[in-house]
Chains A and B, each alone.
Chain A
Amino acid sequence: MKKKNMFLQLALSAALLAGALSTTAHAAEATSNRDIPVGGSGQVEMVGTIEPTILSVTMPSFVPFNISNSLSTQNKVISPRINVKNNSNVPVQVDVAKTNIDISKLKNTTWSSTGAVGPNQIAIGLKKEDAPNEMPATLANARWLKENQTENMNVLILDSNQEGAMYVVGTLGDKVSESATFNVTPTFVVSRTSITE
C-alpha cells in the first residue's frame, strides 16, 4: 500500500513538473514571436512594391491608301482597315502626333486641313470604323490631318484589352492631277488615358 502511495506521489510530481515546463516553453515561444500585448505598442515593417505600368499595343507602322475622283461616294479614298489592339491592362488613346505631307508632285495643289476643298485642294483624314469591315462612304466625323501639326490629335480610345479600327478618308478638287503620287505620313502615338468613350 505504502509503495502504491509513493508511486502515485511520484507520478503526480512528474505530471506537475511536466506541466510547469510546458508553460515556460510556451511563454518563451510567445516572446520570440513578438506578440503585441493588448494595450501595448510595437513596430510592424510593411514592404510595398510598385509594379510598373506596361503599355502593350499592336498597331500599324505604315498606312498605304489610294485616292481617286472616280469613286462615286463622298469619301474618295480606298483605305485598308487600320486595326489597333490594346494588349495592356489600362485604357489607351491613339493620337496622331505629327504628319509629314509631301504634295510637291501634285502641281498647283494645296492642302486643306478642314476637309472642305476647292478645285485645286486635297484633304486627308482618319475616321473611326462605323460598321464592321466597311470603308466609310461619308466624311462625317472625320479627323483631318493638318500640315505642320504641333498638337496631338486623338483618333481612337481603347479600353484595356480592347481592339478598334479606323480608316483613311479624304476628298480632292476636280482639278487635282490624278496621275501623280503624294505622301502623307502620320505618326501614331499611344498613351495611357483616363478618358473613356
Chain B
Amino acid sequence: MSKGKKRALIIVVVILLILLTIGICYFLFTKKDTKDLEYDDNATTGIMPGVDVDERRKELQTLLDRSMIAFSINTSPVFLNGTAEGNLLIENPGNNAKLLKVSIIIDKTEEEIYASKYLKPGTYIENVKLDKVLEKGTYDATAYFLAYDEETTEYIGQTGAQITLTVQN
C-alpha cells in the first residue's frame, strides 16, 4: 500500500469514528429528553385561581372598569302639577358606551313613579311626565340608573341618585 493511500484510509477511519461518537451521543441525550418531557393530561393552561393575587386583581379591575357609568340628573325637579312635565334633566353622557334606563322610586312608599326607555350614550331627556299622578307636595325619591351593554343589551348593574321632587299644585 502506498503512503498516500494509507493517509487517506486513516482520514476516513477518523471521520467514521467522529460520526459514530456524534451518533451515540445524539441517541443517548435525545432518549433522556423525551423521557423528561412527558406532559400531564390533567394540566390546564392558565393562571391557577387564587394563586396570583396581582393577576386576579387585574381581572377584577377590568370587570369593574367595564361597569363604570357616568350620569347626570337634576336633584330637585319641579312639576307644575301632578300631570305636568318636570325638568328632570337626565343624561347618558357620550363617553359611557352603555345604554341607560332610569327608574324613579318614591322612598317612603317604594312606588315606581317613572321609568324611561333606553337612553343611548350621548343623549339626554330634559323634561318628563311622571307615570303616576302625584298630589301637591314634596317627595324624597331615588333615581336608579340601570346600565346595559350597548351591543348585547345584557344587564350590567345599577347605581342611584337621591332627588327631591316638588309638585306645585
Could you list which residues of chain A lie within 8 angstroms of chain B, going by C-beta atoms? 52-66, 68, 70-71, 78-83, 87, 97, 135, 187-192
Contact = CB atoms under 8 A, between A and B. Distances in A.
A56 B61 CA distance: 23
Contacts of B74: 52-55
Contact of A187 (B53, B61, B72, B159): B159
Interface residues of B, number: 36
B75 A59 contact: no
B56 A66 contact: yes
Interface in B54-69: 56-57, 60-61, 63-65, 67-69
Interface of B: 50, 53, 56-57, 60-61, 63-65, 67-77, 87, 89, 91, 142, 144-147, 156-163
A61 B60 contact: no
13 contacts: A52-B74, A55-B74, A57-B72, A60-B159, A61-B145, A61-B146, A66-B56, A66-B60, A70-B50, A187-B158, A187-B159, A189-B142, A189-B161
A179 to B, nearest CB: 11
A71 B144 CA distance: 36
Nearest to B69: A61
A62 B64 contact: yes
Contacts of B63: 62, 64, 80
A82 B64 contact: yes
A188 B159 CA distance: 5
Contact of A55 (B65, B69, B73): B73
A1 B63 CA distance: 108
A55 B56 CA distance: 34
The 8 residue pairs across chains A and B that have the minimum distance between CB atoms: A61-B157, A191-B162, A62-B157, A62-B67, A189-B160, A80-B61, A56-B72, A80-B64
Residue from the set A63, A66, A71, A190 with the largest chain B CB neighbour count within 10 Å: A190
A60 B162 contact: no
